[in-house]
Every structure is written in structure tokens, then in C-alpha cells.
Amino acid sequence: MRVTFMARRKRHLKIYKKNTLPKKILFVFKFLGGFFLIVFLGCAAIFVYYIKDLPRPEDFLERKVFQSTKIYDRTGKVLLYTIHGEEKREVVPLEEISPFLQKAVIAAEDENFWHHHGVDFGGIIRSILVDLKLKKPIQGGSTITQQLIRSSFLGREKTIKRKIREVVLSLELEMKYPKEQILEWYLNQVPFGSNAYGAEAASQTFFKKPAKDLTLAEAATLAALIKAPSYLSPYGMHKDELLERKDYIIDRMLNLGFISAQEAKEAKNQKLKFAEVTEPIKAPHFVLYVKQQLLKKYGQDFLNENGLKVYTTLDWELQKKAEKIVAERVKINRNYNAYNAALVAINPKNGEILSMVGSADWFAEPYPKDCISGKTCLFDPKFNIAVGTKSNPGRQPGSAFKPFAYAAAFEKGFTPQMILWDVETEFNPNCDPSATQTKDKYGLKCYHPQNYDGKFRGPITAKSSLAQSINVTSVKVLYLAGVENTINLAKKLGITTLNKKPSEYGLSLVLGGGEVKLLDMVSAYGVFATEGLKVPPDKHTKN
């Protein structure tokens, strides 16, 4: 009997041990279940809190009226320009908007528009991966529906509350209305720049035609503007970037099957002709230069909505005189096949820009007719010669660069009284000075510059050489100072170009062999006027 009892007890112990593990697992599941339930209820409470008092999606067409930003001269009495003063808009049905524009906008802003339900989580992930790969924000994660909701109700504040409300309203809007209606609303509301809101106004503003008649190239260009309407404006300094984005969108349309390869090729080769700006503007090159600085500091939305009053350093009376002087000189210079000119005046003591004329006439037609801006035009009125662009940074300064070489030589220990020999000189030692060689035995160019009057003066002081702008002796001064030393000094004074290797410029640099910006040159000369005090020309506005 005793042996049997012990055997039974052992069996009970084994059963107990077998039942111990399932109870622990059950406890863990209960704990996790309770935890996730609390988290879920907490998130639900936060979600309900954030979406309370949401506006009705059907009310989204009621927009806030924004105040425009105004740019004045230094007195505050002359209005130079108004940023988005009046919204130009004409609402049209989707049928009256070019299918090319509809497809271009979808390709650029929301390729899965026809398939998602207001929020494209896959698109958000893809955009993040693309941006990380390219190391710059190329693609956005918001759908067209989200953009529509955001611009109508919520603004651009980057908070969890705003994002939740945006998602909820986007989902609700998609449940209430068909895709075609949402796309129509979006294309009639989105800003394209130059005060044009909606596809019809944009088409009329930039191409002087109805939106239904837009070509593929024109449609892709308008779609490109949506990303940064002011920065990419065809009338500003970043037209080349606009055209690059236009081609990018055409490639996207081709990859998505929206257009054929032949259509894409023809659209990329089409020469675009933008309509003239009709909005009032004074000192246009200066104003757009100021506008770019404001955009960097405040952003487009802030300028559009907050009614800033911007007082610049521009002296309107001096500006009118500057424009007159440029116009008169260009008429004379046409006799020498020169069609354009620019002028900048600054106060060297404080760096204030008093006048800026970026071309002979902003409102004139390009020359020759149908030329390509930035490539084949002998006269490009909208291009600001004074400041240039990233792809077209400046112009050769000619003899205006000579003072930098002399200053570098004086800094090195030479004096204004040193004697230089103004005689015919061959600076390539491998070329015969008495011959008329053009290249040496290594294929390098011979270099024997001439003076502007064809004469040689013999011994001359450095001071007289600079005063008379003598070419031969100036090249010798550059040789004594050193090309690299001269470039470094020029950069210290304010020249922002000349970023090639010194050997790529050579001794011709002193005669204008390197491209510089006019604004940089004027500012650098200002350092001479102040006897060494450098004040950059970037403080020309106050709010």
C-alpha cells in the first residue's frame, strides 16, 4: 500500500509540472493584451481629441484671404513690387484642362492618385527612400488630396495634430467625392506663381492660351512650378532649374506609361516661349534679387500670407538715372556689336545697394528673335547680369581686374614707384619673341599681349601703368604677384567666382580672363574706397 501511494504522488507531481508552463504563458498573454489595450485606448483618445471640431470637407473651398507682401524703396514711398497681391483665378471644369497637365501633375505630385484612398503610405515610404538615396528632397510623400486639404484648412505647421487631422479629412473627402472632382478642385486651387492660382490662370499668365490647349511641354512646365512657384519662376534667376524639372516630369510620365517615347522626345525639344510679365514692377532685377533673399529667410508661404512691408536700400532717384545711363550707353555700344549692359551702385561704407540695373531693358524682346535664353541670345532682358546664376555666374571683367593684381603685388612688398618695362614681351619661354608663333613645340599657346593703343612706352612706374591701364606691364605685375596670390586676395575682397585652379587662368587673368559677378566687383572696389573695410552687399532690406 505504501509503494502504491508514493507512485500516485509522483504521477500528480508530474501532472503539476506539466501544467505550470501554460499558466505562465497565459499570464504573459494577459499582461500584453492589457498593455496593448491601454495603448490602443490611449491612442484612440488622442486621435479623438485631435479630430474634434474638424471642418466639413465640403466646406474646403472657403479659403482664407491672405495679405500681400509689399517691397518699397528706401523712403517707403515708392512701391516697387507686390508679392501675390491679387490672386488671379478662373475656375474651369476638369474637361477644360489639358489631359497633359492632369497627367503631368499626377506624375509630379502623386503617381498613385487613382489607386489610394486619400493617403498613400507606400508613396510616403518610397519618397523617403528616394530622398535618402539622392541626399536631397526630390519627392514629397503627401497625396494630391492631402495637399488640397492642407492648403484649404490646416496650413503647413509640422505637428502630429495637423498630420492626423489632415489624414482624417483626406480619407473623408475621398469617401464623399470621386477622384475626378478632387483633381478638378486641386487644379483650380494650386498656386503656380506670378499671382496665378489654378490651371486656367497659370496657362493664361505664362503662355497666353486656355488650359485645354496646353502642349505636353507647357503642361510639364506648369506642373514643375507647383514645387516652388517663386523660386522656379521663368522670369527669375532659376529658369534653367525649371526646365530641368520639366524634363524630369516628362521622364516620369513616360515611365508611368502616360505618354509615348516619341511624345517625350518632342516635348523635350520644344522651345518654350513665355508671355511677358504684366504685373507692375519697378527696378525688376533688384526686386527679384531681394525677393530671393526673402524666400531664403521666410519661405514662400510666409510672404504670401503675412502682409510684410519690406523697405529696401534702393534709391529710386538714382535707380532712374542708372536705367537712363545704361539705355544710352547700350545704343552707342551697338555700333561695336555689344547689345547689353548692367550697372550697380553701392554705398561702400555700409554695403547698401543704391541701384541695380541687370540688363539694358527688362521689358524688351530678346535678340535675336526666337533665341534660347542663356544660350543663343545676344540680348536676354530677363537675365540679371549683375548677379548671374549658378550655371552662368558672370562675365569677363576685362581690365577692371587689374587693381587686384597690383594690390597683391603691393601686399607682397613691391611699391607704386617700382619701374616696369613696357616693351613687346613673349611670356611663354618656349616661343620665339621675334617670331609670330601661335603655339610652342608642346602645343601650348604663345602669349605676347598688346596694349590697347598698339604702342610701347619703355620704362614706366607701376603707379602710371595702373593709371593708364597698360596691358603688358600689368601682366608682368601679375607674374610678380603670383596668380594664386592674386586670386586669393580678390576672394578676400569679395569675389565669389574664380574657383578653378590658378594654372587654368594663367597670366591672362589680369586682362579679364576669369568670369566674375558685377555685384562682386563693385563690392570689392568698395574695399579700396574704404581703405580696407569690407562690407558685403547683403544688408539691403528691413521689415
CA nearest neighbour of 518 among 289, 234, 317, 232: 289
d(CA 22, CA 375): 79
CA distances from 328 to 323, 334, 522 (A): 9, 10, 21
Q: Which residues contact 264 (CB under 8 A, 6 or more apart)?
A: 216, 250, 251, 253, 254
> Strand pairing of 196-197 and 309-312?
unpaired
Q: What angle do CA 488, 489, 490 make, to 5 degrees?
A: 90
CA distances from 430 to 121, 472, 478, 504, 511 (A): 68, 18, 20, 18, 22
Q: Which residues contact 240 (CB under 8 A, 6 or more apart)?
A: 374, 389, 390, 391
Provide the annotated active-site residues. Answer: 109, 399
- Cell numbers standing for residue 538: 547683403
Q: Give the global pTM.
A: 0.61
> Strand pairing of 352-357 and 419-422?
unpaired
362-372: b (≥16 Cβ within 10 Å) or e? beeebeeeebe
Q: Which residues of the chain have pLDDT under 50?
A: 1-3, 5-7, 9, 13, 15-19, 65
374 phi and psi angles, rounded to 5 deg:
80, 0
Q: Which residues contact 355 (CB under 8 A, 6 or more apart)?
A: 283, 286, 314, 315, 318, 319, 321, 322, 343, 344, 345
Instruction: Report how far apart the first and last C-alpha atoms of the chain are (Å, whole number).
Output: 104
458 phi and psi angles, rounded to 5 deg:
75, -145
- Cell numbers standing for residue 207: 503662355
CA distances from 152 to 46, 230, 468 (A): 23, 20, 65
Residue pair 509/486 in contact (Cβ under 8 Å)? The answer is: yes
CA distances from 97 to 151, 188, 212, 267 (A): 21, 10, 4, 18
Topology of domain 398-514 in CATH is: Beta-lactamase (3.40.710)
pLDDT score for 294: 92
Bridge partners of 311, per DSSP, are 72, 542
d(CA 176, CA 58): 9
pLDDT score for 540: 54
d(CA 359, CA 336): 17
Residue pair 179/173 in contact (Cβ under 8 Å)? The answer is: no
Bridge partners of 88, per DSSP, are 196
For residue 19, with 0-12 CB atoms within 10 Å meaning exposed, 13-18 middle and 19 or more buried, which class applies?
exposed
CATH superfamily of 86-269: Biosynthetic peptidoglycan transglycosylase-like (1.10.3810.10)
pLDDT score for 423: 95
Give residue limits of the domains in the chain. 2-52, 86-269, 398-514
Bridge partners of 347, per DSSP, are 352
Maximal CA-CA distance, the chain: 139
Q: What angle do CA 28, 34, 38 make, to 5 degrees?
A: 145
482-514: b (≥16 Cβ within 10 Å) or e? bbebbbbbbbebbbbbbeeebeebbbbbbbbbb
Residue pair 76/161 in contact (Cβ under 8 Å)? The answer is: no
pLDDT score for 1: 44
pLDDT score for 13: 46
236-290: per-residue pLDDT in tens?
889 999 999 999 999 999 999 999 999 999 999 999 999 986 667 899 999 999 9
pLDDT score for 37: 58
For residue 159, with 0-12 CB atoms within 10 Å meaning exposed, 13-18 middle and 19 or more buried, which class applies?
exposed
- Cell numbers standing for residue 540: 539691403
Taking residue 210's Cβ as centre, other Cβ atoms within 10 Å add up to: 16
- Extended strands (E) in 404-463: 419-422, 458-461
- Extended strands (E) in 440-524: 458-461
- Cell numbers standing for residue 194: 506670378
d(CA 527, CA 535): 8
- Total residue length of the chain: 543
Amino acid at the residue 418: M
244 phi and psi angles, rounded to 5 deg:
-65, -45
